[in-house]
Copies of this chain bind each other. A is one copy, B any other.
Amino acid sequence: MAKTDRKTQILTEATRLFSESGYDKVTVKQLADACGITEPALYRHYSSKEAIYDAVLDSISKRLNYDELFEQLGKTNDVEVLLKSIANHILDYFSENQDVYRLLLYSALRGHTKSKQVYQAIRGTYVRFLYTQLDRLYEMGSIINKNNEMTARCFIGMVFDCALGVTLWKGFQGKQFDPPDVIANNVPIYVRGLTS
């Protein structure tokens, strides 16, 4: 196996394992086993366990592609379209990358500065985009006067929490709702509450 392939494989397995069990509970042996090699072989590719962890976080922050969404939505004048698209984008992303959110939250709770930064980079990007758009819609007279940064942060928070519900609380929240249904139910409340 070529060096690059092995490195990628280690990254993939590490992402999966770390997000499943958290950094501390994953042993280097586990990771090596998952890759089908021995522990010392891992150290040919990464200098330490922490280095693998850093690489995982780096790859995560590069995995998100907002450009498409932002270009698509940059010109809409419909609050409902705006909110629904952002919500769906977040939920799609996290359902396609179920491991990511868990891993980020876990790391952030662990106090890992880098993962806090990554988490906030992802989240902050959504928030900034949304409140910029809300500012624009307000100037157009489409929505009422609010602190749009607060509004945006809360809305994104609600959607993130919903995403967490899907991945983390599976089987622990009583009835299991489909995220799209939740969006369909709740975004209109926001829209009604915001439009003038």
Contact = CB atoms under 8 A, between A and B. Distances in A.
Nearest to A110: B22
The interface size bin for chain A is 35 or more
Contacts of A155: 158
A124 B149 CA distance: 28
B22 A185 contact: no
A44 interface: no
> How many copies of the chain does the oligomer comprise?
2
Contacts of A162: 154, 157
A110 B173 contact: no
A99 to B, nearest CB: 12
Contacts of A24: 22, 24-25
Interface stretch (A51-59, A65-73, A187-195): A187-195
A116 B167 CA distance: 13
Nearest to A170: B116
B190 A116 contact: no
A34 interface: no
9 contacts: A22-B24, A22-B109, A117-B172, A124-B174, A147-B181, A150-B185, A153-B173, A154-B158, A158-B161
A186 B151 contact: yes
User: Which 3 pairs between the two chains have the least Cβ-Cβ distance?
Assistant: A193-B193, A157-B161, A189-B193
